[in-house]
Structure 1
């Protein structure tokens, strides 16, 4: 650098220093004019503050270092979970209260509604505009009781109405479950009266609310249900072989003997080709004959009693349904490749016979994860076909295969839902209640106070144990007795058998002694065969298996 350049830099630095000095002096002068002079004995506050700040910084550093060197104390997972559960429940309660305080109405609470019903006269359980349903009656009763606000009364979806099992037309239930968000203490209740008691006064006697319990907000009646228990009442005379010389009997003769029946229409006991085949020459028809009218046959059928060997075979056939299988042949609108056709039957049983009103009955129980539309009735249908025609048990396994066959559905009269099960949810609730109890015990041993309503996060299990006595009485009066009275008055099961016996066509040729499904008995998806003369298929003409009958939510409709 040149000497001139160095001189310029020194001069510039001097000017800048002079400017800073002048500015500092001016600032100090203004400050002295604005404030009185400090006494010599008065301490310098800024210096003290700086000293204190430095001291605090050192103390903080020491404490942080000590904390870093000390071992970490683990927080128990269950305590954290229980605190979270309680805080969540408290938050939900506060949110609900805050949202309704300004509106002058009670908060809605999510509850499980335990109920039972006789399905006669109803078009199923779920609300369906324009028809009478059980849910429709129940929803209307809650609205009239004031448990549903006026703006929510126009649509049950606004109270998040869900059901555990959606039963079909005419199907009964001793125990079923709904979930909904309701106001539990409407002003119409008398002192000491519960909402359950009041709503039951608004319902017909064949629809009963057993009780209500608070549930977790995540609980869903359908998806939280692990399995369902159904029962089907069946008169044992349905296992009698077809009447001699009916269409079904002639088909069985051809399949078992290999020739058409003789033109002389010999009685089975006089026909050397069939007299040794019990199914074609059953002792009942030997006594009753085959030329009497329906009413006379019906009177004799009611007095018939199934033998121990015949009942044992029926139980063996029924056991073939146990386990996971493809039930596409036991519903409508499903293909073999449809994975939703796979269902699991956990436990199946056939009771000992019981005589009621001079007719012998058995109780058939189905415990499965879930059921499709008409599945139980079709399972009963194939059970009856095999039981009365002596077809091999292996036919059940064939029905689980890809071949699509016509399986008739039994009458809906004998079907009822016993109760749904919620084992998984109940385990979850028990664990949650235990965590809350531990949290309360831990807080009790310390000076830390318990939160207000510490028990509020606990929930009761969802089961029907408490209501079992009432359910049994209701089931006997409004379901069992109704089924027996209806059968006595209408002979519905006998009429169903008559439809089967008069059917003409190849649909039931799978009832051959080899247990194979011939090509002529295989149906195409959606095919609706007609018997000669334009008659519907061999079952109740009022209830066809046409796919046009299948609702959009087929997989949710059970029984």
Structure 2
């Protein structure tokens, strides 16, 4: 089953108890259509339901793939299936097509690669000497710099710093990235402010990704381009030292495509391909992607100014803090101003409390008088006794001789 969805209203793809997710809506529609039972809806593994990728909260997908075992009626599902489900699904979840696969097909394990995109305003890459606003236009030099930094992530690396609750020596932290690049910028009209804003799309293709990995990679690249951290920090982030990497907002993240090249090649004679769904469906996917996901994504960003707010906090990000802390300290302009005020108040109180002690008992304007400490008095009294002791020692020595 090929489907797409706008994820901003949902708590991710995977089924969660008492929370709206993509799977909960999909399973509900399948039950209403009579495809599954109520028991199977509660336990989807009973009919071998699986998804290719577990998208996070508010993350959308243009081509998500799901697999399941249904009563054999290929034409019913292939021809009428998408229409039946779309009539029962919310408008922000669309089924594009269904195909018969091999028995026990697993969309996650048999997926070779996954392609994601991250769309954001180009002003996120503004230099310290440039204004971060809607009038910003990215230069060819900066675009080349961004692509150069993105290329550092290509290949196999340890991404334990780009996720949560994974150690450096955990082999599952190693992930392989095939490509990572920026596309050409484009303009989108902000109808509220009556101005054109430049956006850019970052596309990454990898074997698989750990939780939050893509958003943290994007956050790190933005940090380096804005000269808030060194380029060499990216290479250090793959090493054993723990680093708290900033995570970019989730709004711009989109699952573009799941790749089944090996499956398509192996079963090309007896099953339809899963990577390419044909011209008609692909056109529908692209149309729905823009109308349902991309357009809404851009409008929401312009309305909420979420990226600008994130950038305002980014300058205070502490890379050395513990990302595993349950409630990490949130640094904002307000909290930092309050901290500075408290520090100044304490210093003022300390100064005022020390001043009276220094002048206590002395008349105003009187010169300071140094007083000898009490411990020095016995030493001064004992000093005259030294000659007497030496004389007694001489007499004793003469007597013994």
TM-score by length of structure 1 reads 0.55
CA distance in 2, matches of 1:335, 1:151: 38
Summarize the alignment of residues 373-388 of structure 1 with structure 2, pairs less than 5 Å apart. Answer: 373-388=211-226
In structure 2, relative to structure 1, the CA distance for the partners of 1:529 and 1:121 (3 Å cut) is closer
| Residue in 1 that maps onto 2:203 | 365
In structure 2, relative to structure 1, the CA distance for the partners of 1:150 and 1:484 (3 Å cut) is closer
Q: Structure 1, residues 359-410: CA drift from partner, whole Å, max 9, x if none?
A: 1111100100000100000000000000101644322111111111110100
CA distance in 2, matches of 1:333, 1:127: 21
Deviation at 1:501, TM superposition (A): 2.6
Q: Is the aligned partner of 1:461 residue 2:347?
A: no
In structure 2, relative to structure 1, the CA distance for the partners of 1:464 and 1:536 (3 Å cut) is farther
In structure 2, relative to structure 1, the CA distance for the partners of 1:217 and 1:407 (3 Å cut) is same
| Residue in 1 that maps onto 2:5 | 117
Of 326, 329, 337, which aligns to 1:530? 329
In the alignment, is the contact (CA less than 8 A) between 1:227 and 1:421 conserved in 2? Answer: yes
Q: Structure 1, residues 208-266: CA drift from partner, whole Å, max 9, x if none?
A: 1111111111311111111100000021111224xxxxxxxxxxxxxxxxxxxxxxxxx
| Residue in 2 that maps onto 1:500 | 314
CA distance in 2, matches of 1:533, 1:380: 21
- Compare 166-175 and 205-214 and name the one that shifted more: 205-214
CA distance in 2, matches of 1:412, 1:351: 19
Q: Structure 1, residues 99-130: CA drift from partner, whole Å, max 9, x if none?
A: xxxxxxxxxxxxxx111111010011011110
| Residue in 1 that maps onto 2:297 | 483
Of 385, 402, 406, which aligns to 2:244? 406
| Residue in 2 that maps onto 1:335 | 167
CA distance in 1, matches of 2:176, 2:101: 27
Q: Is the aligned partner of 1:344 residue 2:176?
A: yes
Of 118, 128, 134, which aligns to 2:22? 134
| Residue in 2 that maps onto 1:232 | 118
CA distance in 2, matches of 1:426, 1:532: 50
CA distance in 2, matches of 1:495, 1:283: 17
In the alignment, is the contact (CA less than 8 A) between 2:316 and 2:332 conserved in 1? Answer: no
Q: Is the aligned partner of 1:301 residue 2:152?
A: no
In the alignment, is the contact (CA less than 8 A) between 1:147 and 1:184 conserved in 2? Answer: no
| Residue in 2 that maps onto 1:162 | 50
In the alignment, is the contact (CA less than 8 A) between 1:170 and 1:413 conserved in 2? Answer: yes
Unaligned runs of 5+ in 2: 190-195, 337-401
CA distance in 2, matches of 1:193, 1:132: 28
In structure 2, relative to structure 1, the CA distance for the partners of 1:394 and 1:218 (3 Å cut) is same
SS in 2 for 1:356: strand
CA distance in 2, matches of 1:460, 1:317: 38
Q: Is the aligned partner of 1:183 residue 2:71?
A: yes
Deviation at 1:348, TM superposition (A): 1.2
- CA root-mean-square deviation: 2.5
Deviation at 1:526, TM superposition (A): 4.6
Number of paired residues? 327
Q: Structure 1, residues 450-503: CA drift from partner, whole Å, max 9, x if none?
A: xxxxxxxx3222223322111100111011101111011100000111122345
Deviation at 1:150, TM superposition (A): 4.9
Deviation at 1:327, TM superposition (A): 0.7
Unaligned runs of 5+ in 1: 1-112, 242-278, 285-299, 434-457, 509-520, 538-559
Deviation at 1:534, TM superposition (A): 12
In the alignment, is the contact (CA less than 8 A) between 1:226 and 1:421 conserved in 2? Answer: yes
In structure 2, relative to structure 1, the CA distance for the partners of 1:534 and 1:360 (3 Å cut) is closer
Q: Structure 1, residues 55-99: CA drift from partner, whole Å, max 9, x if none?
A: xxxxxxxxxxxxxxxxxxxxxxxxxxxxxxxxxxxxxxxxxxxxx
| Residue in 1 that maps onto 2:188 | 356
Of 422, 426, 438, which aligns to 2:260? 422
Summarize the alignment of residues 12-27 of structure 1 with structure 2, pairs less than 5 Å apart. Answer: none
Bigger Cα Rg? 1
CA distance in 1, matches of 2:141, 2:100: 50
CA distance in 1, matches of 2:111, 2:159: 20
Q: Is the aligned partner of 1:213 residue 2:93?
A: no
CA distance in 2, matches of 1:536, 1:200: 48
CA distance in 2, matches of 1:283, 1:412: 25
| Residue in 2 that maps onto 1:222 | 108
Deviation at 1:522, TM superposition (A): 6.5
In the alignment, is the contact (CA less than 8 A) between 1:230 and 1:415 conserved in 2? Answer: yes
In the alignment, is the contact (CA less than 8 A) between 1:328 and 1:335 conserved in 2? Answer: yes
Q: Is the aligned partner of 1:144 residue 2:32?
A: yes
In structure 2, relative to structure 1, the CA distance for the partners of 1:305 and 1:429 (3 Å cut) is same
